[in-house]
Structure 1
Amino acid sequence: MTRTACTARRPTPARYEDHDRFVIFEEPRARHHPHRCPAHRRSGPHPPGRPAHAGPAAAAGETITKPLQSALKALTVKDEDRTGYERTSFKHWVDADKHGCTTRAKVPKAEAVVAPDQGPKRKLSGGSWYSPYDDQYIEGPSTIDIDHRIPLAEAWDSGAKGWTAAERQEYANDLGDDRALIAVTAKSNRSKADQDPATWMPPGPMATGVST
């Protein structure tokens, strides 16, 4: 899926692929898509500090292949800390490219199964969407929520408290990584709230596998 815009850069969580006995471990790294957003071809800010649960030190973007158990043992495990968290610490739904359309408005347009109509002041009408959290189709935009797959609070718990305000804004408005934001039913999004997979899993098809 191609977004209509992107923010400069943000770190993405480490990815683990279990190929039987071996695992491919990717360090968190800044992701951006210069071909989608020419204004960001210049160097962006340094990626925020590694989350508390990130793996062993390595060069950004380095791929390490090793037995699964060895990779798991190499992870640093720390307690999460929500001290000082405020949702307003992550400025979200901004118009990063100054085209008059916020992140909140761009995601539904990008993820529509049937494209909506856009009226005055970029207001959407019609269209349909699929919400994989609860395996529901949504008719019209009025009951759509845009979810941060990794909740803002969870990001804070895992190290985002040490990021700058600009880095937190980039994280909260990431249009450069299709895994970051998703259009779902308001009901399922509010059921999830700021929980992580340890306390909430979607009741729909997404609960049977891991999105990569």
Structure 2
Amino acid sequence: MRRTVIVAALGSAALTSTLVAAPAAYAAPPPPPGKAVTAKHLASLRVAKEGSLTGYSRSKFPHWSTVKGACNTRETVLKRDGRNVRVNSKCAAVSGTWYSPYDGRTWRKASDIDIDHMVALAEAWRSGARSWTTRQRTAFANDRASSQLWSVTDNVNQAKGDKDPAKWVPPRAAFRCTYVRSWIDVKWRYKLTVDSAEKKALTRLLRSC
């Protein structure tokens, strides 16, 4: 009986190792706060009816601004999140591998990777960013200091669109706790509102972590 328990434990450990080993080799955005701090941040978010998209344009969030030399934000994040990334003289990634935490897939072409805004630009607009200055929206769209920018599979990012967690969560269940903590962190940092359905979904998801 004891031997069976040990074998089972080892089997479980081996399975855990299999699940986490691949992504651990890759970089990622700065981690969001833990569950307890995140819960406090969630409680402090103002609940308000979602605003309209009237007046919204992606051009009002100047994104992929220059970071250094020829490298812009997208190229910098690709290099941060990838492994063995090589770039050309224009800072475009010409080789490397990228792990997408949203769906657990690994890609060898930068063209298969989107840089996702955790809180989409349109969602930010509806949640308060419509009153920001262009400078504030630029900072939000290029924020590499928080968990706002992620390298992910392009069609998964397209499926997400500008949906909040009441309407969409990553297909990879193992990432959903990090996803919801990151979402709350970004909304809290930028003093964005949440609607009632979004707050309910965030609360439920965070409790399940």
Q: How would you bin the TM-score normalised by the shorter chain?
A: 0.5 to 0.7
In structure 2, the residue matched to 1:154 is 123
Structure 1 length-normalised TM: 0.63
Contact 1:134 1:188 in 2 (8 A): yes
Contact 2:103 2:172 in 1 (8 A): yes
Runs of 4 or more above 4 Å deviation: none
Which structure has more helix as a fraction of its residues?
2
Deviation of the 1:140 alpha carbon: 2.2
What CA distance in whole angstroms lies between the structure 2 residues aligned with 1:75 and 1:91?
A: 26
**1:183 matches 2:154:** no
Deviation of the 1:148 alpha carbon: 0.1
What CA distance in whole angstroms lies between the structure 1 residues aligned with 2:177 and 2:28?
A: 23
**1:133 matches 2:133:** no
Count of aligned positions? 151
**1:106 matches 2:121:** no
Structure 2 length-normalised TM: 0.64
What CA distance in whole angstroms lies between the structure 2 residues aligned with 1:208 and 1:98?
A: 33
- Structure possessing the higher relative contact order (Cα contacts under 8 Å, 6 or more residues apart): 2
CA RMSD of aligned residues (A): 2.6
Identity %: 38
Q: Which runs of 5+ in 2 are unaligned?
A: 1-26, 182-209
Deviation of the 1:206 alpha carbon: 4.6
Deviation of the 1:208 alpha carbon: 4.2
- 1:34-183 correspondence runs (5 A): 72=43, 76-82=46-52, 83-95=54-66, 97-112=67-82, 114-177=83-146, 179-183=147-151
Q: Which runs of 5+ in 1 are unaligned?
A: 4-12, 27-54, 56-71
Structure having the higher Rg: 2
Matched position secondary structure for 2:106: strand
What CA distance in whole angstroms lies between the structure 1 residues aligned with 2:90 and 2:104?
A: 31
In structure 2, the residue matched to 1:25 is 40
